[in-house]
């Protein structure tokens, strides 16, 4: 009898897409699977911004509780939702192959553009701060909930367009509503955007862990995300801190772009460094040092002071 792997996931359509994607990879490797749907705090509280709920573990806490007591073997998350420092006893054992990383403008109106005086729906501090920096005339409105809920709110007149990750829009088959793919140099994505992370308790049977990693982990994506997450770890950036990073792999060379934007958008630091692909964590830490030295530490301290008021 082959190994049974219980997959924990949130219940939104996008979260389920991710869980079924991981399930397919595991089944191809000959493993049996069962999907377990779990409600999280981030799913339950939709009338308050992520920054106000508290950014640590908003979408992961309840899944981790079940990993710890063995009700599930793995938890499947959007890699960008994973905090930079996991609680003791947990680890990420795989990153799936990354989708296109861009942010996109989504609307029924194909004429919508960032050059216009429009109202954009987003709940991301990174996107809001980036808009304030490059497109200060654009107004934003808080919009939370799953993708279908956000689109409904837009249709009801809350905003002219939504600012979202391409990966989620594409996976939910809303490509026809993409008005524009945004420039990665301006809208450098959140750490991990486009990949699915598989989390496990460290006590998970090593043989089972090895089988899951072998079936699901995409080595190039994993290398890139290890660099990005090492950068995020130094900045202690949760969902409420407007930091960004994107790694690219070219043979044995890894390039990493990353930075931070002030909440008012007036200051934005973005730095690119290169290094050995065999040492992605070191590259992430080196980038963080350079961003701090360029004034990023002052911006980060100001952000934390503002958010803690």
Question: Looking at the annotation, which residues are catalytic?
Answer: 81
As a whole number of angstroms, the distance between CA 81 and CA 89 comes to 18
Q: Which residues contact 35 (CB under 8 A, 6 or more apart)?
A: 7, 9, 16, 19, 20, 23
3-state secondary structure at position 109 = coil
Q: What distances in angstroms separate CA 16 from CA 8, 13, 20, one per listed residue?
A: 10, 5, 6
DSSP per residue, 189-246: PPTTTT-EEEEEETTS-HHHHHHHHHHH--HHHHHHHHHHHHHHHHHT--TTS-EEEE
Q: What is the DSSP letter of 68?
A: H
Helix segments in the chain, DSSP class H: 13-28, 41-44, 50-53, 61-68, 125-134, 147-155, 166-171, 206-216, 219-235, 280-291, 297-307
């Amino acid at each position: 009898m082959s190994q049974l792997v219980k997959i924990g996931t949130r219940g939104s359509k996008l979260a389920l897409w991710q869980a079924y994607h991981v399930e397919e990879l595991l089944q191809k490797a000959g493993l049996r699977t069962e999907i377990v749907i779990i409600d999280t705090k981030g799913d339950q509280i939709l009338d308050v911004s992520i920054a106000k709920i508290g950014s640590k573990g908003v979408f992961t806490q309840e899944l981790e509780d079940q990993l710890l007591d063995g009700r599930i073997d793995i938890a499947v998350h959007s890699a960008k939702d994973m905090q930079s420092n996991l609680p003791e006893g947990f680890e990420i054992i795989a990153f799936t192959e990354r989708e296109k990383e861009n942010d996109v403008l989504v609307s029924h109106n194909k004429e919508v553009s960032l050059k216009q005086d429009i109202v954009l729906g987003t709940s991301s501090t990174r996107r809001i701060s980036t808009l304030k920096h490059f497109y200060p005339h654009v107004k934003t409105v808080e919009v939370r909930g799953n993708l279908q809920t956000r689109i409904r709110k837009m249709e009801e007149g809350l905003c002219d367009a939504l600012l979202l990750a391409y990966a989620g829009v594409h996976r939910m088959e809303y490509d026809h509503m993409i008005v524009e793919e945004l420039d990665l140099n301006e809208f450098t994505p959140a750490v991990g955007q486009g990949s699915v992370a598989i989390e496990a308790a460290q006590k998970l049977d090593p043989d089972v862990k090895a089988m899951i990693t072998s079936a699901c982990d995409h080595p190039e994506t994993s290398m890139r995300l290890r660099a990005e997450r090492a950068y995020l770890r130094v900045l202690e950036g949760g969902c409420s801190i407007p930091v960004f990073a994107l790694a690219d792999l070219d043979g044995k060379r890894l390039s990493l772009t990353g930075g931070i934007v002030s909440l008012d958008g007036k200051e934005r630091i973005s730095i690119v460094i290169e290094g050995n692909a065999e040492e992605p964590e070191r590259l992430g830490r080196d980038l963080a040092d350079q961003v701090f030295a360029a004034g990023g530490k002052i911006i980060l301290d100001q952000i934390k002071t503002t958010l803690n008021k």
